[in-house]
Structure 1
Amino acid sequence: MNHDRPIPSEDDAITDAAAHWCMRLHAEDCTAAEQRAFEHWQAADARHAEEYQAMLEIWQTADLLPRRAPVLAFKPATAPRSRARRWQPLATAAAITLLALPLAGWVGWEQGWLPDSYQHFETDGRRQQIRLSDGSRVELNLNSELRFLNYKDERRVTLVKGEAFFKVAHDSSHPFIVRAANGQTRVTGTQFNVWKYQDQVKVTLVEGSVLVSSNGNSGGYRLGPGMQASYHLGDFEPELAQSNDYATSLAWRSGKLVLDNLSLGQALPVINRYLDKPLRLADEGTGNIRISGIYNTAEVERLVDTLPKVLPVYLTRSKDGSTVLNRIVPAPKRG
């Protein structure tokens, strides 16, 4: 008999406890004694921490809704990792314990306040292909995280970090919106790529049409196939460019990182996406050195070690342990 999975009654007890602690820790009258009790409960079993994090995600989703919003009503969702949640019992507990409102969940769906499904995907050392509940398909790059909520009037994706290639199921009355940093990409059915690192975002359109904004507004700039839109958090509008070189932008889907005559200043955000600790530049002059090459995305750490062999640079370590690139300044010529 397999005892690795808890029996249903134990599942329910953990879910109920997680909902209770999520409510109490967010209450204004939560005491220090309760906080200590929560820490003891969480440390007692690894499942407690996992269930609490799942409940917290629902709590955070609910916090974005109007305070008159009715109960949450999620459909169970499947995820490509073991982080898949038992969303139906979680949602029920969250609805009763967290929101404690009398209206039925279908009212929230009809009003467009609440989603009828929620999915959360996260990758680490390998790429993954996933299917969203609306039928859309997504390829996730290494070290990426994505959330999907299906509302009555729109399909909403948040790219928390990393990179994703979308093949969106067409639905002209149900727009598909990808949020990254403070901007968004709005489509009804198309194929496109979104890359996000820290506060930088780049959208590459392959097929169809998308509307890209950088400041959270519903308007924006329409891209055609082969176009890219780039922006940083806080930019008033994205920077547009024509780029038919999909081999470079989408090479990650084949596990490749293509650096095509980029300055180190341009290349580092792309390289750092695959590193545990970011590579840094010693100065502006180092950032002007150019680099080219094709590398394996699973072996970018090796790329860092080989840079002094192919570029006029040497490596040092900063106090926080990150690697710093320093240019080698040629000795002055003697007259």
Structure 2
Amino acid sequence: MRSTTSGTETHGDPDSAAATWFARLHGDDVSSRDRLDFQRWLEADPRHADAWDGVRGSWNSLASLERDPRLAALRADALSAADHRPRRLDRRALGLAAASIVALAGGAVLGRRWLGGEKTTAPDEPVFSTGIGERSTFRLADNSVVTLGTDSALRVNHWGQERRLTLLRGQAFFQVAKDPSRPFIVAVADKSVTAVGTAFDVRMDPGKLSVTLVEGRVRIAGASPSGQRRVEMSAGSRFVAADRADWSIQPVDTAKESAWLGGRLVFDGEPLSAVVAEMNRFSERKLSVADPALAATPVSGVFKTGQIDAFVAALKTYGLAEVGHADANRVELVRPPA
């Protein structure tokens, strides 16, 4: 059986391979080469993406799973997977083994992970995180459901009269369990998003915060260029706060904006430069566009996250762009010949 240079087997049973990749990517010694090899494995076969989603989807309720005594019996399997000796496991066992892999590797469980140099200190304030191209869904103690997007991190703070979480980086979608007596608050830098029972998306980009409200109502409070402000949002709208710019709320296609939850990105006439930037968020292998005219080319379509080769193939098929140079880390897009 052929292996990548990282030592992780890429052929054979997709479920076992996905569990092995999970262990590898959450190990302390994961390298850039490991992530690139994983990206190639993920794109090599549609079954790989399905298996990966199965492993990630089974990783729910990590705080309660960590305390489950059944994990003790599965930790040996998890360590075997981390040593690149995959074997057949059913989906339920994969979810438990995956959780134990994260616990052993120092992953996103109960405040034992370093994130950006800052260590969570309270053992009852878990930090959940994802790597580039990953997506993770978990259930909170109140039955609210959170889905973390690519390269994201979320801290669950102390809960009392309110349910408070802090988005440390990236993007998260919240399906909030109704409890009028306890507001659900997501803190992001110097702003907060408050809901009672609703569904909304919060995303952090350099110098910009955006909130997309799918259903219900939320209140946003915090610092703005004109001082402290508070606004309320209605369903079907998006709030944007950018550095040195006033807040804005505009109608938005929530299905389009939430497509990433299903592993897809939807574009409708956006310039290629913006499309490339969005695709790059989900892949270690980056696209680049140097030509200003090409960068301004409008692009419409639905693309799978992390599928760089498939995206480039679509651009070539429709005569929008060609590959000028490609290597393990980068794909340069150029204008097609006249």
- The answer, yes or no, to whether TM exceeds 0.5 is yes
From 140, 145, 166, the counterpart of 1:158: 166
- Aligned partner of 2:127 in structure 1 is 120
From 210, 231, 239, the counterpart of 1:221: 231
Q: CA deviation at 1:87?
A: 4.7
* 1:77 partnered with 2:96: no
Q: CA deviation at 1:228?
A: 0.7
Is residue 123–residue 142 contact of structure 1 (8 Å, CA) maintained in 2?
Answer: yes
Q: Which amino acid aligns with 1:240?
A: I
For 2:272 and 2:241, how far apart are their aligned partners in 1? 19
Is residue 214–residue 231 contact of structure 1 (8 Å, CA) maintained in 2?
Answer: no
For 1:227 and 1:147, how far apart are their aligned partners in 2? 26
Is residue 279–residue 306 contact of structure 2 (8 Å, CA) maintained in 1?
Answer: no
Q: Which amino acid aligns with 2:202?
A: V
Please, what is the CA RMSD of the aligned residues? 3.8
Q: Which has the higher contact order (CA 8 A, sep 6+)?
A: 2
- Deviation string for 1:252-300 (max 9, x for gaps)? 2222221122112332332122121442331443331111111222424
After superposing the two structures, state which structure 1 stretch, 275-284 or 185-194, moved more: 275-284
Is residue 222–residue 229 contact of structure 2 (8 Å, CA) maintained in 1?
Answer: no
For 2:329 and 2:249, how far apart are their aligned partners in 1? 36
For 1:285 and 1:329, how far apart are their aligned partners in 2? 14
* 1:140 partnered with 2:148: yes
Q: Which amino acid aligns with 2:312?
A: V
Larger Rg: 1
- Aligned partner of 2:263 in structure 1 is 255
Secondary structure in 2 matching 1:186: strand
For 1:291 and 1:229, how far apart are their aligned partners in 2? 24
From 270, 276, 298, the counterpart of 1:268: 276
- Deviation string for 1:50-85 (max 9, x for gaps)? 9xxxxxxxxxxxxxxxxxxxxxxxxx9347743347
For 1:218 and 1:115, how far apart are their aligned partners in 2? 30
- Aligned partner of 1:242 in structure 2 is 251
Going from structure 1 to structure 2, the CA distance change for 1:180 and 1:324 (only over 3 Å counts) comes to: farther
For 1:215 and 1:329, how far apart are their aligned partners in 2? 49
- Segments of structure 1 that go 5 or more residues without pairing to the other structure are 1-47, 51-75, 91-97, 99-113, 331-335
- Deviation string for 1:10-33 (max 9, x for gaps)? xxxxxxxxxxxxxxxxxxxxxxxx
Secondary structure in 1 matching 2:125: strand
Is residue 197–residue 269 contact of structure 1 (8 Å, CA) maintained in 2?
Answer: no
TM-score, length-normalised on structure 2?
0.56
- Aligned partner of 1:303 in structure 2 is 311
Is residue 229–residue 238 contact of structure 1 (8 Å, CA) maintained in 2?
Answer: yes
- Segments of structure 2 that go 5 or more residues without pairing to the other structure are 1-26, 30-61, 66-97, 113-118
Secondary structure in 2 matching 1:189: coil
For 1:162 and 1:311, how far apart are their aligned partners in 2? 33
- Deviation string for 1:129-177 (max 9, x for gaps)? 2012343211233443322112435433233344322111334453322
TM-score, length-normalised on structure 1?
0.57
Is residue 150–residue 170 contact of structure 2 (8 Å, CA) maintained in 1?
Answer: yes
- Deviation string for 1:191-213 (max 9, x for gaps)? 11223344443321111111235
Secondary structure in 2 matching 1:220: strand
Q: Which amino acid aligns with 2:289?
A: L
- Deviation string for 1:88-132 (max 9, x for gaps)? 9x8xxxxxxx9xxxxxxxxxxxxxxx9793122223455332012
- Give every structure 1 segment of 4 or more consecutive aligned residues whose post-TM-superposition deviation is greater than 6 Å: none
For 1:294 and 1:126, how far apart are their aligned partners in 2? 19
Tell me how many residue pairs correspond in the alignment.
234
- Deviation string for 1:207-246 (max 9, x for gaps)? 11112357478633211010111233x2443332102x23
Is residue 146–residue 161 contact of structure 1 (8 Å, CA) maintained in 2?
Answer: yes
For 1:49 and 1:281, how far apart are their aligned partners in 2? 33
Going from structure 1 to structure 2, the CA distance change for 1:49 and 1:295 (only over 3 Å counts) comes to: closer
Secondary structure in 1 matching 2:126: strand
Going from structure 1 to structure 2, the CA distance change for 1:87 and 1:197 (only over 3 Å counts) comes to: closer
